[in-house]
Amino acid sequence: MGEPTRPAKFAAIEARVRGIRGYTESSSRGDGSDWFEAELTPDLVAEVRSRLDASIIGPDRRVLNGRDAPHDTTATPRWWPDHWPAGTVTYWRGHSMLILPPTGTRAWLIDFRL
Residue 3 included in any domain: no
Half-sphere exposure of residue 34: CA atoms within 13 angstroms, side-chain side: 10
Determine, yes or no, domain membership for 88: yes
Are 96 and 109 in contact, with CB atoms under 8 Å apart? yes
Amino acid at 1: M
Split into its structural domains, the chain has a count of: 1
What gap in Å lies between CA 21 and CA 4, rounded to an integer?
21
Q: Say if 50 falls within a structural domain.
A: yes
Output the pLDDT for position 61.
79
Residue 36 has pLDDT above 80, yes or no: yes
Give the ranges where 6-100 is alpha helix by DSSP (H). Answer: 8-14, 42-55
What's the domain range around 15?
A: 11-113
pLDDT at residue 44, rounded to an integer: 94
The answer to whether position 39 is within a domain reads yes
Q: What is the pLDDT of residues 85-107, one digit of tens each?
A: 888 888 888 888 899 998 999 99
Collapse the DSSP code of 74 into the 3-class scheme (helix H, G, I; strand E, B; otherwise coil) and give the result: coil
In a domain, residue 59? The reply is: yes
What pTM value is reported for the model? 0.77
Q: Considering Cα of 8, then 13, then 17, then 22, what sign does the dihedral take?
A: negative
* Cβ atoms of residues 39 and 17 within 8 Å: yes
Is residue 4 situated within a structural domain? no
